[in-house]
Amino acid sequence: MIQVTNLHKAFTVKDGKTKAKKRIEAVRGISFQVNPGEIYGLLGPNGAGKSTTLRMIATLMQPDQGTIEVCGLDTQKEGEKVRGRLGYLSTDMNVYERFTPRELLRLFGEFQGVDATIAERRGLYLLDKLQLTDFSDVKMDGLSSGQKQKVSIARALLHDPKVVIFDEPTTGLDVLTAKTVLDLLRVMRSEGRTVIVSTHVMPLVDEICDRVGIIFDGELYGDAPPREILGRYSVRTLDEVFFKLAAGGGR
Amino acid sequence: MKGVGLIFKKEWMEFSKDRRTLLFTFVIPLILFPAIFMMMTKMAQGDSVRRRGQASRIVLNDPGGVMKPFLLEETKLFQLVEAPGGDLKQALRDKKFDLAVDVEEDAPGKLRRQEPFAVKAMVDESESASELALKRLKEAMQKQDQVWVQARLEAIRAPKDLPKPTNLIIEKASDLALEMSKLLGMIVPYILLIGLYTNAMQHGVYMTAGEKERHTLLSLLSTPLPRSHVIWGKLLATFSIGVLGTVMNVVGMGLGFLILGQQAVGSEAATAGAAAAPSLSFASLASPATLGLTLLLLIPLGLFFSSIILVLGTQAKNSREAMTAITPGIFVVVMLGVFSMSPGLEKMAALPYVPVLNVALTIRKLFSHEFVAWQYLLAFVMTSGLAAAMAWVSTSILNRESVIFKQ
Ligand SMILES: Nc1ncnc2c1ncn2[C@@H]1O[C@H](COP(=O)(O)OP(=O)(O)OP(=O)(O)O)[C@@H](O)[C@H]1O
Ligand SMILES: [Mg+2]
């Protein structure tokens, strides 16, 4: 289970031209909860604050304000334990290209405290699900970016995590591969895991998310099943919700 | 602590997958140094050795024929040649021959009357072949003088030791091994400083800025391993690769020195004509104690350098940026290294208190068999302190999210 309460995060960036420091409020008071056996979709345009929120849940960033609990553990106090229960994947993660998928999976199994042989077996099972078995002993600098992404997915799920956080998992994948990833997420749900996916690909959300939260400019709108959101904004597709939000500058 | 070991293992695994780097770090220095030394000595000695094997070409003007017989006797040393036409001096400078010897016309008469006769030799001192010819001539004449003196002594029935009231016996005290060892002690710190820094640089950057660039760092940080373990694993990996690479450099150097020494011994034996040349072995260059104490000093120095590299590498966005930050350090290290080679170093009173340089000084003293315990300890403790401080900085830097998510 994930419990996010009143999350805040700001960055200070330097303007390249004026050299003035600028404060960006990336996340402004977000709260939501995701339950086991549920897929939660975080939607929002570029720069909305999706990745920042997910990184804070994954303990890679510290919130300025607010609390996050993962499986009842405070992310800020028990980061190591939280990471042991999390499967985290984001677009800015790549594989170690000097290794083969098998070597990588064994190694990350050990990092996760899983016995290398068990890790390898589970990793290979995942690679099989993702149709990558033929490449399990190929050095990864010879794999396509989609194939590497699949290895990353296997890497993230290798230690049987209770909570799965996928930041734009289908980026760079063809429709067939994207479908296998979504199928895998469905399996995760049926196994009672807590799943969060971020995306700006709307049909994907429609298809697999039990509930969605729409992030716009660092704030959360919605937080309901997709059908309900459509009703609330009286639109037919989730894309139109974005257009409405953009036009209204929020509400 | 298990995390440190796992990261260490991962870094070494990654490193060992790159055959070329492996070769360049560990094998090439082992071959390169001996090869360079061999070439250097070959080039320096080749000429003189070749000349030594040849007879000197002498233009002899000896109307009385006093010198000719004993010069001709030494066929290996002298070869009498016809005087070339034109200016004799110019011909000598043009290397048409090596030495012109002009014997007084009345030499046989003067020899009989027991008066000294003059022998004029024209030499080109800028040519070593000409110098060698002169040296040979002097030796030959000395030998012949003795023959004539003995004959005169015999004629007056005087004891044959009459012209030799003293007998100088020379015993060579200089120890070739110690000499070589001292020389090694001057160069070793230089090689160590530069070797440690550059080796650590290459691999330290790969493990830090390189991981950011290749987008692998986040996957590592999203595992339960504490960040301090991650950085320590990387630190130890950088350190061990750096030290091992450097040790290979030094071993290669040592091998080169052995070759150099063997050749020096060989040529000395050749000139002296002595059969028993002192043997030069690896152990005589550096005792196990010297090597052990030097290696021990490399631990804090290597950790210090590695953690500097990790700090700079972690802070950089990508490898290029990291290299830009780290490269100026090479110049500093080279300067320290060159300074550590300077001859009068031991006499500087403040040096034992200067970080890094005191390591160089201590190593040099170790190799010249002048171990000073407190100086060694001071260098060790000081460098360890620096290493610990830098390691702490690198851990705290990896904890900064602005560093991890630098864009
Ligand atoms: N490390 C950082 N330093 C400075 N600013 C940052 C940093 N990370 C994110 N931001 C800023 O915070 C805001 C939210 O970024 P975030 O990456 O969370 O957006 P996102 O919703 O994931 O967008 P996208 O769909 O493009 O991935 C953006 O304005 C971004 O510029
Ligand atoms: Mg994002």
Q: Is B222 on the interface with A (CB under 8 A)?
A: yes
With contact defined as beta carbons under 8 Å apart, do A90 and B221 qualify? Answer: no
pLDDT for res B276:
42
In this predicted structure, the answer to whether residue A45 has a pLDDT above a threshold of 50 is: yes
| Ligand 1 contacts CB of residue A234 (under 6 A) | no
In a domain, B44, yes or no: no
Candidate from A81, A111, A139 with C-beta closest to B223: A111
Tokens encoding A163 = 């909570």
Whether A111 and B216 lie within 8 Å, measured CB to CB = no
Q: Is residue B384 part of a domain?
A: yes
* Tens-digit pLDDT profile for residues A103-159: 999 999 999 999 888 888 998 899 998 889 999 999 999 999 889 999 999 999 999
The total number of structural domains in chain B stands at 2
Cβ-count burial B154-177 (b if 16+ within 10 Å, e if not): eeeeeeeeeeeeeeeeeeeeeebb
Q: Indicate yes or no: CB of A112 within 8 angstroms of CB of B223.
A: yes
Q: Where is the domain boundary, B88, B121, B155?
A: B155
Residue B47 lies in a domain: no
Q: Which of A7, A8, A11 to mutate to test the pocket of ligand 1 (most atoms within 8 A of CB)?
A: A11
With a 6 A CB cut-off, is A22 part of the ligand 1 pocket?
no
- pLDDT of B275 reads 41
Name the closest-CA residue to atom 31, ligand 1. Answer: A47
Determine which residue's CA is closest to atom 28 belonging to ligand 1: A47
Question: Which CATH number belongs to the domain containing residue B108 in this structure?
Answer: 3.40.190
In the predicted structure, residue B257 carries a pLDDT above the cut 90: no
Chain A partners within 8 Å of B3 (Cβ): 111
Q: Does residue B116 sit in the same domain as residue B229?
A: no
B15: nearest CA partner in chain A: A98
From A61, A83, A96, residue closest to B14, measured CB to CB: A96
Q: How far does the centroid of ligand 2 lie from the alpha carbon of residue A97, in Å?
A: 23
* Residues B223 and B253 reside in one and the same domain: yes
The four Cα atoms B280, B283, B289, B290 give a dihedral, to 10 degrees, of: 50
- pLDDT tier at B279, thresholds 50, 70, 90: low
d(Cα B294, Cα B375) in Å, to the nearest integer? 13
Cα of A88 vs centre of ligand 1, distance in Å, is 17
Q: How far is the CA of A51 from the centre of ligand 2 (A)?
A: 4
For residue A9, give the ligand 1 atom closest to its CA: 12
Give the model confidence (pLDDT) of B89-139 as tens digits: 999 999 899 999 999 999 999 999 999 999 999 999 888 889 999 999 999
Look at residue B52 and tell me whether its pLDDT is greater than 80: no
pLDDT at B273: 43
Do B224 and B192 sit in the same domain of this protein? yes
pTM, to two decimals: 0.81
Statement to judge: residues B205 and B343 lie in one domain: yes
- At position B292, the amino acid (one-letter code) is G
Say how far apart CA B217 and CA B211 lie, in whole Å: 5
The pLDDT-based confidence of B269 (bands split at 50, 70, 90) is low
User: Quick check: CB of A49 below 6 Å from ligand 1?
Assistant: yes
Domain of B137, in residue numbers = 55-155
- DSSP state for residue B116 in the 8-state scheme: -
- Whether A60 sits inside 8 A of B10 (CB atoms) is no
pLDDT for residue B264 is more than 80: no
Residue B334 within any structural domain of the chain: yes
- Is pLDDT above 60 for B368? yes
Q: Within a 10 A sphere around the Cβ of A239, how many other Cβ atoms? A: 13
Q: Does position A234 have pLDDT exceeding 60, yes or no?
A: yes
Partners of B61 in the β-ladder: B102
Q: Does residue B102 share a domain with residue B217?
A: no
Q: What is the pLDDT of residues B196-221, one digit of tens each?
A: 999 899 899 999 999 999 999 999 99
Ligand 2 being an ion, which residues bring their Cβ within 5 A of it?
Answer: A 51
% of chain A residues with pLDDT over 90: 63
- Same domain assignment for residues B246 and B277: yes
Same domain, B315 and B369: yes
Name the closest ligand to CA A47: 1
Distance CA B387, CA B304 (A): 4
Does B172 reside within a domain? no
Of B122, B155, B188, the one marking the end of a domain is B155
pLDDT score, position A31: 96
Interface contact flag, A95 B219, Cβ < 8 Å: yes
Q: What is the structure's pLDDT at B340?
A: 81
Please report where in the chains the tokens 């000598």 appear, as a residue: B92
Chain A's closest residue to B407, CA to CA, is A13
Burial class (CB in 10 A: 0-12, 13-18, 19+), B75: exposed
Q: Nearest residue of A to residue B398 by CA position?
A: A60
pLDDT band at B50 (very low <50, low <70, confident <90, very high): low
What distances in angstroms separate CA B367 from CA A20, B293, B374, one per listed residue?
Answer: 57, 10, 16
Query: Is B118 in the same domain as B204?
Result: no
pLDDT at B271 over 60: no
| Cα dihedral: A174, A112, A121, A95 (round 10) | 30
Say what the pLDDT of residue A74 is.
96
Interchain CB distance below 8 Å, A94 and B216: yes
Domain final residue pick, B101, B124, B155: B155
Q: In what order do the strands lie in the sheet with A163-167?
A: A86-89, A163-167, A194-199, A38-43, A211-216, A219-224
Which residue among A60, A61, A94 sits closest to B214, beta carbon to beta carbon?
A94
Q: Where are the alpha helices (DSSP H) in B316-356?
A: 319-341
What is the residue with the minimal CA distance to atom 25 of ligand 1? A46
Q: Does residue B221 belong to the interface with chain A, where contact is any CB pair within 8 Å?
A: yes
pLDDT (average), residues B78-86? 90
Of A81, A86, A90, the CB nearest to B218: A90
- Please tell me whether residues B138 and B243 are part of one structural domain: no
B8 within 8 A of B207, measured Cβ to Cβ: no
DSSP A204-216: HHHHH-SEEEEEE
Chain B environment of A139 (Cβ under 8 Å): 17
Minimum CA distance residue for ligand 1 atom 8: A52
Q: How confident is the model at residue A72 (pLDDT cuts 50, 70, 90)?
A: very high
User: What b-and-e string marks burial along A109-134, b requiring 16 or more CB atoms within 10 Å of the CB?
Assistant: bbbbebeeeebbebbbebbebbebee
pLDDT tens digit sequence for B132-187: 999 999 999 999 999 999 999 998 888 888 888 888 888 877 677 777 788 888 88
Asked if A81 lies within 8 A of B225 by C-beta distance, the reply is no
Does ligand 1 have an atom closer than 6 angstroms to the CB of A51? yes
B357 by Cβ neighbours in 10 Å (0-12 / 13-18 / 19+) ranks as: buried
CA distance B275 to chain A (A): 57
Query: Does residue B329 share a domain with residue B228?
Result: yes
Give the closest-approach CA distance of A242 to chain B in angstroms: 27
The pLDDT of residue A207: 82
More confident residue, A63 or A179: A63
**Ligand 1 neighbourhood includes A26 CB (under 6 angstroms):** yes
Cβ <8 Å between A95 and B223:
no
- Position B45 in a domain: no
Sequence-separated (6 or more) residues with CB below 8 Å from residue A232? A222, A224
ipTM exceeding 0.95? no
Residue B397 lies in a domain: yes
User: What is the pLDDT, as a whole number, of residue B45?
Assistant: 62
Residues B29 and B59 in one domain: no
Cβ of residue B405 lying under 6 Å from some atom of ligand 1: yes
Hey, are the CB atoms on A92 and B223 less than 8 Å from each other? no
Residues B297, B392 within the same domain: yes
The pLDDT mean for chain B works out to 86
How many of the other CB atoms lie within 10 Å of CB of A54?
A: 22
Nearest CA to ligand 1 atom 4: A11
Q: Is residue B85 part of a domain?
A: yes
